[in-house]
Structure 1
Amino acid sequence: MRPSAEPLLRFVIGGAQKGGTSALARYLDAHPALCLPTGKEGHVFDAPDFDEAWLPADIDARCTALFDPARADALHGDATPFYLLHPRVVARIARYNPAMRWIVLLREPAERALSHHHMERSRGRERWPLWLALLLERWRLAGHHDDFSRSSPMRRHAYRLRGDYARQLDVLLQHVPRAQVLVLRSDHLRADPGACVASACRFLGVPPPPPGTPYPPVFVGDYTPPAGWAMRWLRWWFRRERRALARRHGIDFDA
């Protein structure tokens, strides 16, 4: 049993959206020493009714219903991609648990935006093609930076903003020591899920799954990739984000 003074949530898979968080959450939740919300995303700290006056005990009381009570002895975590995006949410989590461990999955930003756009189109929430949605994003998000509603443009249409990983990591490392952050790449998770899961387990202080553990694909994209010239244009569009990430955090998607 955890000491009563410790917060319930000890780790988060904080992003990025469409970066493989669902797959990693499922793989970690299968570990007997780890427990994630039954619906994968707890949306605790980005809830529209979150009260900044809440104490850790208040947040824990809100979280309890998200988890299987039979797994009370496991290390509890959350996997909500929006957490990494918003500075206010990062600050909330740091206040709740200064020792929180963050697992961050990053996907090449052009590929991430393409997948995000396809998801919104399939849900009937996006009418514009991606190139136009990217051009319109600044105006669509204007006035909604602190809008945590479920229909907020910050959640649905932040195609470029969600790929600004350097800024997001800058904010995170202002609140959390570097030793409490594990950054993984989505392409590495796809290529060798066992190695990524083992790395995450070591980071969380639990033994890795035994050799031969299966890691079935989760939410494989079913959309047709754009033409080569369109993908080159899209990567060009994210060139500043890619350069900033490599320069400030040493993460180069071309390496």
Structure 2
Amino acid sequence: MAGPLPNFFIAGVPKAGTTALFNWLAAHPQMNGAYEKETCFFADPDSHAYRADFCVAQGLDTYSTAFPAPTLSTRVTFEATPFYIYSRAALEHIPGLETCPKVLFILRDPADQIASVFDYFQNNYSHIPAGLTFEAFVSAVHQGNGDFKGNELARNALGYADYLPWLMTWRERVGEARMMVRTFDQLRDNPRAICKEIAGWLDVSEEFFDDFVFTKENESYRPRNRALQTLNIAVRERLPKGRVYDMARRLYRKVNTRPVDRAGKAETKAQLRAEFAARNQLLAETFDLDLTNWGG
């Protein structure tokens, strides 16, 4: 093998705080995060994130190049590709890796998660048309008549927010001992507690997070100028990641972004909460989760 393979995955779900969590955990001296948070190596060929030059068909030696060399203190090597929860390739290959990886899923209130997917792929990217309202987006997904430039996370937003069947399938493959399910509410309200819990589960030092400073990451935004955002999307994928990239990213967001408009979604989100209520109750019972905040 050319390098390390992960023994831990953050495998779900999109828009549930996984970027921040990855960065917090990667700061731990005993944890070795991938060069890029989302390797997308186990993306399915029909996924918008699939890369023919970096996928499971290329073999695990290729995959190992996504991770820095371990140090003497490294106990955990990991990545965080949150759509793996839905990926056929991930489900087929990850459970059987020789590292016997543990798998973490962070879940978010379906109404809020769908709204965040909408904001993210309409503004941070351009898969969802700029003029489409949230109500019209949900209606299009219900009717199955939106392709959204091949983005399956937008196209299947409702089915993907029904987390129970996806989690049940993963539990059948990896077993309860190698699987943890937590919520975005826990991550948002007490990041220190959840990071220490994860550290204990992974057998690394929990004390590292005693004085850790937790910062937010990868929040959705609205572009002030969409033409400039279109240029940003085209250019940023071609730039090498690193310090200069991060500085340019911060400058761009300061100049051309503003907070997303959360007005006008309340009625549609209320309808989504009613639609998901029974499934969420079953999810809570099956995985022993406190989902009382998901009611509104």
Classify the TM-score, shorter chain.
0.7 to 0.9
Say if 1:158 and 1:98 are closer, same or farther in 2 by CA, change over 3 A.
farther
Task: Confirm or deny: 8 A CA contact 1:141 1:158 kept in the other structure.
Answer: no
| Residue equivalent to 1:161 | 159
Choose 1 or 2 for highest CA Rg.
2
What is the aligned length?
A: 240
2:106 equivalent to 1:68 = no
* Aligned-pair identity (%): 21
Q: Which amino acid is the alignment partner of residue 66 of structure 1?
A: A
CA distance in structure 2 between the partners assigned to 1:72 and 1:45 by the alignment: 28
Task: Confirm or deny: 8 A CA contact 1:110 1:234 kept in the other structure.
Answer: yes
2:257 equivalent to 1:223 = no
Say if 1:86 and 1:115 are closer, same or farther in 2 by CA, change over 3 A.
same
CA distance in structure 1 between the partners assigned to 2:29 and 2:200 by the alignment: 14
Task: Confirm or deny: 8 A CA contact 2:181 2:287 kept in the other structure.
Answer: no
Alignment partner of 2:274 out of 203, 221, 236? 236
Say if 1:140 and 1:93 are closer, same or farther in 2 by CA, change over 3 A.
farther
TM-score normalised by structure 1 residue count: 0.83
Question: Alignment partner of 2:95: what SS?
Answer: helix
TM-score normalised by structure 2 residue count: 0.72
In the TM superposition, residue 136 of structure 1 has moved relative to its aligned partner by 2.6
Q: Deviations over 1:169-202 (max 9, x none)?
A: 1110110110111112111111111111001111
Say if 1:210 and 1:133 are closer, same or farther in 2 by CA, change over 3 A.
closer
Report 1:164-179 matches (<5 A).
Answer: 164-179=162-177
2:292 equivalent to 1:254 = yes
The farther-off stretch of 77-86 and 241-250 is 241-250
Question: Alignment partner of 2:195: what SS?
Answer: helix
The farther-off stretch of 243-252 and 100-109 is 243-252
| Residue equivalent to 1:126 | 128
Task: Confirm or deny: 8 A CA contact 2:5 2:99 kept in the other structure.
Answer: no
**Consecutive unaligned residues in structure 1, runs of 5 or more:** 143-150
Question: Alignment partner of 2:164: what SS?
Answer: helix
Alignment partner of 1:12 out of 9, 12, 16? 9
Question: Alignment partner of 2:42: what SS?
Answer: coil
Q: Which amino acid is the alignment partner of residue 126 of structure 1?
A: I
| Residue equivalent to 1:112 | 113
The farther-off stretch of 183-192 and 66-75 is 66-75
CA distance in structure 2 between the partners assigned to 1:236 and 1:224 by the alignment: 23
The farther-off stretch of 188-197 and 241-250 is 241-250
CA distance in structure 1 between the partners assigned to 2:93 and 2:145 by the alignment: 26
Task: Confirm or deny: 8 A CA contact 1:16 1:84 kept in the other structure.
Answer: yes
In the TM superposition, residue 51 of structure 1 has moved relative to its aligned partner by 4.9
Question: Alignment partner of 1:103: what SS?
Answer: strand
Say if 1:253 and 1:12 are closer, same or farther in 2 by CA, change over 3 A.
same
**Consecutive unaligned residues in structure 2, runs of 5 or more:** 46-51, 221-258
Question: Alignment partner of 1:77: what SS?
Answer: strand
In the TM superposition, residue 224 of structure 1 has moved relative to its aligned partner by 2.6
In the TM superposition, residue 248 of structure 1 has moved relative to its aligned partner by 2.8
Q: Which amino acid is the alignment partner of residue 160 of structure 1?
A: L
Q: Which amino acid is the alignment partner of residue 153 of structure 1?
A: N
Q: Deviations over 1:44-69 (max 9, x none)?
A: 111634456x7xxx31x112322233
The farther-off stretch of 223-232 and 74-83 is 223-232
Question: Alignment partner of 1:104: what SS?
Answer: strand
